Amino acid sequence: MATAQAKLITPSPKAKSKHSTYLPVRVLPEMRYNFFITIDGEVTEQDFDKLVQLNSEMWFERTAKGEVEIMPPPKGDTGAKNHKIGLQLGVWTEEDGDGVAFDSSMGFKLPNGATRSPDASWVRRSRIAELSQKQKKEYFPLCPDFVLELRSATDRINRLKEKMEEYIANGAQLGWLIDPQERRVHIYRPNAEVEILESPTSVSGDPVLPGFVLKLSKIFDSDF
């Protein structure tokens, strides 16, 4: 089994302690290797930021337990599908005006302490207005009103389902898990059973995203 080269983060003097802290890095099965990053001192949000900055070729998320998940950037058709989803959500967002849409480069610190970056998300402007100027420049300390995850060829569906349940438990009002492989859309809402649409041509965001309809033909049948 190959061992990846981890990049050591050195915290500020104030963060140092007599004991070394081991931050577990849970590499997803599709990455085919595992390693640990050692950080002297307390593992802070700043440490996580540095880890991301030092490894810009990878994508990182942090679980509520403090584990760091490393994922490869989207490949080929998944990247194109993400873009097509973002375009549709972005056009509707500009016309609606009540919220702000984000792509997968945006991170959110959920109430349970996890840091997540959904493939697409939307937050009401009224909630963003409550954030300080400092908070607006960092990971938003909230869960988006709407989240979307797009399954790639290497994603395990059960892991994505767990993420969707986490979003709802932390305040999301609507979540879509789009699975092009099975041509399904899993719809998550608070206090409701998961709804599964089989081979839908579109999916409606009402009432959370009033009037937004995501067309799925170019997502399920995309060939660039």
pLDDT in tens, the chain (224 residues): 333 444 434 344 444 444 444 555 555 555 544 443 433 333 466 777 777 777 666 778 888 877 777 776 666 788 899 999 999 999 999 999 999 999 998 999 999 999 999 999 999 999 999 999 999 999 999 999 999 999 988 888 999 999 999 999 999 999 999 999 999 999 999 999 999 999 999 999 999 999 999 999 989 986 65
Question: How high is the pLDDT of residue 54?
Answer: 72
Indicate whether this model's pTM tops 0.75: yes
> What SS3 string covers 83-104?
HHHHHHHHHHHHHHCCEEEEEC
Q: CB burial class (10 A; 0-12, 13-18, 19+) of residue 216? A: buried
Q: Which of 151, 173, 153, 154 is nearest to 162 (CA)?
A: 151
Dist. CA 52–CA 42, nearest whole Å: 17
Q: What per-residue confidence (pLDDT) applies to 60?
A: 81
Q: Assign domain 76-220 to a CATH class.
A: alpha beta
Q: Say what the pLDDT of residue 67 is.
A: 77
Q: State the pLDDT at residue 35.
A: 45
Residue 39 has a pLDDT of 36
Backbone angles phi, psi at 113, to 5 degrees: 100, -10
**E-strand spans in 72-212?**
99-103, 108-109, 115-116, 120-124, 146-150, 174-179, 184-188, 195-198, 202-204
CB neighbour class for 189 (10 Å; exposed up to 12, middle 13-18, buried from 19)? middle
Which ranges in the chain are annotated with CATH 3.90.1570.10?
76-220
